[in-house]
Amino acid sequence: MKHKSNLETHEIKSESGISVELLNLGARISSIKLPTLNGHRDIVLSYPNLSAYQIDPYYLGAICGRYAGRIRNGRFALNGRSFSLDRDASAGPHALHGGPIGLSKKIWKRIKEDSINKANLKVFSPDGDQGFPGNLSAKVKYELVDPDRLLIDFSATTDSPSIINLVSHVYFNLDGKVTNISNHSVQINAQEYTVQDETLLPTGEIRLVEGTPFDLRESSMLGRKLEELRNLTGDHGFDQNYVLKKGEDGLTLAATLTSASADLTLMVYTDQPGLQLYTGQHLAEPFHPFAGVCLETQAFPDAPNQPSFPSAILLPGETYSKRTLLKFKWN
């Protein structure tokens, strides 16, 4: 469906009754509706009108890139060349989520698809865009797989060595209209996390979660963990990268999120090495702080400047290919 200002929405549906609304601006997920006993429940945060997405500061439901997360002072070196990235002053000293006009701010083009359960979107980012090297062609495929799954497949190619980290920045609230996710329970399959400084940039150190508020190996009430974090560090919410405990090749169960009433569960699977837990503490009007939680499967923040982190380099002739699977379970 077309709207003013080149905004276009598109809905995909499954036979089991799940529907997902997509927006071409940032290839965003603007709605995921699940068929519950009390009717359809929308489990992601969205704006009441489409025009608000054009001034959205929260990356609501968007695909972030070329490099999601922070890169130290917006600088990195690759193959003996130094690159300086565009930075958004409101994001602090580092480059964040691909720059002020990253992929989340661009109009993605929908590739015609005959199936009602899948959608493909693509975007082109020219050499030098936001300071990144190489002409980059990126795609995201959303596919509902009956009865209870949403696949998110990322792919990209470049004609010059570059870096890449494409991330889905959906804010989940499994209770629907409830304005706070503190009563959700979360479990993250990680024994370690990347230590970060006061600017939320990884220092390079990887530490065990045991004995810290970051220990979410067992399902825990978010509100209790938020209080634990606040008492120990003074931080008023999580914005933390976890080192996922990988299984064999293929997808690993990264995180499980359960609604306050325990009638709905989301399981996040991925082939990525990291997961960012963000509890939405900086959300403001028309939302409330802690109105949604992000579970962002990703490469590590600042990996281009941390040789010990898993590589986020993409070379000509290679295809960047990453997958995230959302599995829903409802009573």
User: Catalytic amino acids?
Assistant: 169, 296
- Record the tokens describing residue 301, joined without a space: 């923040």
Tokens encoding 93: 């000293």
293: which DSSP letter? Answer: B
User: CA angle, 266 as apex, 263 and 268 as ends, to 5°?
Assistant: 165
Say how far apart CA 220 and CA 207 lie, in whole Å: 20
> Which is nearest to 324 in space by CA: 247, 256, 287, 271?
271
CB burial of 186-219 (b: ≥16 within 10 Å; e: otherwise) equals bbbbbeebbebeeebbbeeebeebeeebbbbeee
Count CA atoms closer than 13 A to 4's CA, side-chain side. 6
β-pairing verdict for 162-163 and 167-169:
unpaired
